[in-house]
Amino acid sequence: MDYIGNKCPACQKYFHADDDIVVCPECGTPQHRECYEQNGHCCNEHLHAQGYDYQKEHEHSAESANVKRCPNCGKENDPGQFFCVHCGTPLSPTGSQNGNPQQPNFPQGMPYGAGQNQNGGNAYNIPFMDPLGGVPGDTDFGDGVTAGETAKYVKQNTPYFIRVFSNIKNFNRSKFNFAAAIFTGGYLLYRKMYKLGAIFASIQLLLLIVESYITIAYSSLFTDFVSVYANSGNMADLVNGFYQYMGGLSAAQILMLYLPTLIDIIRIVLMVVMGVCTNRMYMKHCIKQINLIKQNAAVGENPEATLQTKGGVNTALAVSLLVAYLVILYLPNFITGFM
Domain ranges for the chain: 178-336
Rounded to two decimals, the pTM is 0.60
* Residue range 210-249, pLDDT digits in tens: 888 888 888 888 788 778 777 777 788 778 877 887 888 8
- For residue 283, the model assigns a pLDDT of 96
pLDDT value of position 286: 94
Burial degree of 66 (CB within 10 A; 0-12, 13-18, 19+):
exposed
Residues 281-304 have pLDDT tens digits of 999 999 999 998 888 876 666 777
Taking residue 119's Cβ as centre, other Cβ atoms within 10 Å add up to 7
Q: For residues 210 and 103, give the distance between their C-alpha atoms in angstroms, rounded to a whole number.
A: 59
- Estimate the share of the chain in helix, then strand, then coil, as percent rounded to the nearest 5: 55, 5, 40
The residue type of 83 is F
User: Helix, strand or coil for residue 204?
Assistant: helix
**Residue 114: its pLDDT value, please?**
37
What's the whole-number mean pLDDT along residues 136-148? 89
Element (H, E) at 145: strand 145-146
Q: What is the CA radius of gyration of the chain?
A: 30
Distance CA 10, CA 30 (A): 9
- Scanning 101-193, the segments in alpha helix (DSSP H) are 147-154, 158-171, 178-183, 185-190
- Indicate if the alpha-carbon torsion angle 247, 253, 255, 256 is positive or negative: negative
What's the CA gap between 268 and 13, in Å, rounded? 49
Percentage of the chain surpassing pLDDT 90? Answer: 20
pLDDT of residue 15: 77
Lowest-confidence region among 46-55, 161-170, 299-308: 299-308
Phi, psi of 76, deg, nearest 5: -85, 145
Exposure class string for 19-51: b at 16+ Cβ within 10 A, else e: bebebbeebbbbbbeebbeeeeebbbeebeeee
